[in-house]
Amino acid sequence: MALDGDTSRNSLGFAKAPCDTRVVVAMSGGVDSSVVAAHLASEGYDVVGVTLQLYDNGAALAKKGACCAGVDIHDARRVAEDLGFPHYVLDYENIFRDAVIDEFADSYLAGATPVPCIRCNERVKFKDLLETARDLDADCMATGHYIQRKPGANGAELHSAADPVRDQSYFLFSTTQAQLDYLRFPLGHLPSKQATRELAAQYGLQVADKPDSQDICFVPNGDYASVIEKLRPGAADPGEIVHADGRILGSHDGVIHYTIGQRRGLGIGGLETPLYVVRLDVEARRVIVGPKEMLATRSVPLREINWLGDAPLTSRDAWEISVKVRSTRPPREAVLRPLSATEAEVELLTPEEGVSPGQACVFYETGGSRVLGGGWIWRGA
């Protein structure tokens, strides 16, 4: 049985023997991608492992628990050596800085809440790395992402992972149809992360018990502000904390220390009603706070939409779908109203709190697992 449930032809969907099918496996050094490589190698595929070095190797060696760091590159190489397939490390540091880190810094400075993992998939892993896989004459590229690729009436479809706890569909909404045709996600059908670890133990992988990465790879300990200050000196200019009614409540050490929806760490104690960050006025260096009900949002403006539906996005005036505005929240019913092929307004049937520019809004088939694409929230409603 194919690991991803595709039983047509060989387990990867090609009409030839596994030994004649070359597959590049994007190896981060973690247990997920290592299991993918081990499983495909065990089936007899012509496996080539590729690991990206995305940032300074000296700094990477000092940071554990993040993908594409020095220790992880070593782990990926060791897995390839143990299983007997070639492995390459590609220096993508400049590409990663230009395509992901710089935008992350600029977005934070503009008061947005960026999601760099999506941009990394979109602009590095599924663009430059995918082209490298083609240059290596690979029939496809496989990754350890928890998402499913299923055959559909109009080509390959993207679906949520079988395990909702591990599902990574939010971070992969910008995968294009052309990329989806070339990609494979062999772990998406597994019921749990424990099942992956059991496979790792079965294949004798030394990374079977390796902890999952938690932070954004280039942000040690989740300290976004210190990274921004290093990338953009002078970014932490002080300013005022202002109530939505105009009252000045205190001061802050930089807008970059705050995000929409934040309650803790505001430094304005002694008030009877809990206050939340409801808006960031970057130009005036003001953090605007207000009661929780001010966070509720119904209308979400989107741009840079990637649409994966069967019919063109603009073929209807409105689409009844479900959406996620954060990776940790379940899909909520909504109406998608296209403005163009790449812009739209989403109306949430139930208001969501803490919706912020810079986040993604991901589309799902209502009542189903299919991912219909998504877009980027680009301004307050």
> Tell me, what's the pLDDT at 212?
86
CA distance 373 to 179: 13
Helices then strands, each counted (H, E), the chain: 10, 17
* H or E element that contains 344: strand 344-353
> Which residues are part of the catalytic machinery?
120, 217
Domains of the chain from N-terminus onward = 18-144+186-221 (3.40.50.620), 236-290 (2.30.30.280), 296-377 (2.40.30.10)
The phi and psi torsions of 363 (rounded to 5 degrees) equal: -95, 140
Closest among 203, 254, 161, 153 to 31, alpha carbons compared: 203
Adjacent-strand bridge partners of 373: 307, 363
Q: Any idea which residue has 């079977």 for tokens?
A: 208
SS3 of the chain: helix, strand, coil, percent, to 5:
30, 25, 45
Q: How far is CA 188 from the centre of its chain?
A: 15
> Tell me, what's the pLDDT at 380?
54
> Tell me, what's the pLDDT at 62?
44
Residues 6+ apart with CB under 8 A from 194: none
CA distance 157 to 151: 6
> Tell me, what's the pLDDT at 61?
39
> Tell me, what's the pLDDT at 110?
87
> Tell me, what's the pLDDT at 164?
95
Asked whether the beta carbons of 313 and 372 are under 8 A apart, the reply is no
The one-digit pLDDT tens for each residue of the chain (381 residues) are 455 544 568 999 999 999 999 999 999 999 999 999 999 999 999 999 999 998 764 444 344 445 555 788 999 999 999 999 999 999 999 999 999 999 999 998 888 888 999 999 999 999 999 999 999 999 999 999 999 999 999 999 999 999 999 999 999 999 999 999 999 999 999 999 999 999 999 999 999 999 887 667 888 677 888 888 888 887 788 999 999 999 999 999 999 889 899 998 898 876 778 999 999 998 899 999 999 999 999 999 999 999 999 999 999 999 999 999 999 889 999 999 999 999 999 999 999 998 999 999 999 999 999 999 999 999 754
The phi and psi torsions of 335 (rounded to 5 degrees) equal: -120, 125
CA distance 349 to 346: 9
The answer to whether the pTM exceeds 0.85 is: yes
CA distance 360 to 376: 5
CA distance 357 to 380: 6
